[in-house]
Each structure stands twice: as structure tokens, then as C-alpha cells.
Amino acid sequence: MKIKQRLALKVLRWARWQIAGEPAHIQRWRDTQKCIVIAAPHTTFWDYVLGYLTLASLGKKGSFLINKKFFVFPLNLILKAHGGVPVIRKDKDFLNQVVTSFEKSDGMFLTLTPEGTRKKVTRWKRGFYQLVQRTNAPLLLGAMDYKKKQIILGDAFPITDDFNADMGEIIKFYKDVVAKYPEKFALQEVG
């Protein structure tokens, strides 16, 4: 185990957080080189910190989308070092930008929050689903349960091209998870 992995694991343990999930699922996270991860609930900046530490403890570097306007010196160096992927969100070609970045990478854990914000929403964004369809990458499910102090690593979810049916199944993974700010977390309405 590398120093960064040991340090990340020690910080999680010091904060009394643990990585949870079926052993086979956790092993899949370790073995996977390139995937789309959806992380929910997302109600605080601390979700990013916990996710970063979790992936680091597994020997992985997470990637996240961030507005290209923030990629100016010296902030660009910090963002890139921590997995930032510059995008122009309002561009009609937004998904193509992300697909291109994903395909150019040798290994990427592209972590997305389908809520799209830390505020309460009733509809999750479909971008993660479209990215999985266009890249044929595995979709891994991850959750942070603040009540149990667990980062839950789920298995790869095989999408079927039926968004509503798939979301019904994905919601089952997140239905009992407690957010840092539960009043800000709502599951996707399906139908």
C-alpha cells in the first residue's frame, strides 16, 4: 500500500468513517481503471472530501467536472492535480467535451453528483446516464451515510437503456442513506 493510500485511510479512521460494501464490490472499485461514479447524497462540500479520501485509500484518483473559467493560473494547477476536468457547461457540445476527456484518459474515475447541486432538487440530472451510454463505461454507485459514518461502495450497475426502470433500481441503493443535511436530499422522481 502506498503512502498516500495509508494516509487517506488513517484520516478516514481518525474521523471515524469506514468504507462499507460487499467485499466483491469493494474489490471491483480497486480493480476498475475507468468508470463513471455517481455519488449521492450531495448536500455539503464534505462529500467531496470524503469521496477524495475514499478513492485515495483505494489507490484511485477521482475526477470531477468543473467550469473551464476556473482553470487559470495558479488555480488550474491545483484543480488538475486533484482531478478537475475543465468543461463549458452551457455549451451545446457539453457531453461531447466530457466523452472526449474520458476517452483520452488511460484511467479515470469520473465522479458525478446527479443532483447537480448541494441544494434540494426533485429531479436528478441525466448526464451520468448519457455518459455511460456513450462511453460504455461501468457505472459504479457510491454513497456517504452520515448517520452510520460509512462510505458505501456499490457494485457496477448495468444500465438497460430504460432510464425510468434503471433509476427505480438505482434509487433502491440510496433510499436508506442519510445525508449530512437530510432536508436537502430528495431521491429522483421516476415516471
Rounded distance between C-alpha atoms, residue 111 and residue 124, angstroms: 15
Ranges of residues in the chain with a pLDDT under 50 are 191
pLDDT at 120: 67
Of the candidates 145, 174, 176, 179, the residue with the CA atom closest to the CA atom of residue 17: 145
Rounded distance between C-alpha atoms, residue 61 and residue 19, angstroms: 16
Of the candidates 172, 173, 116, 182, the residue with the CA atom closest to the CA atom of residue 146: 182
pTM above 0.85, yes or no: yes
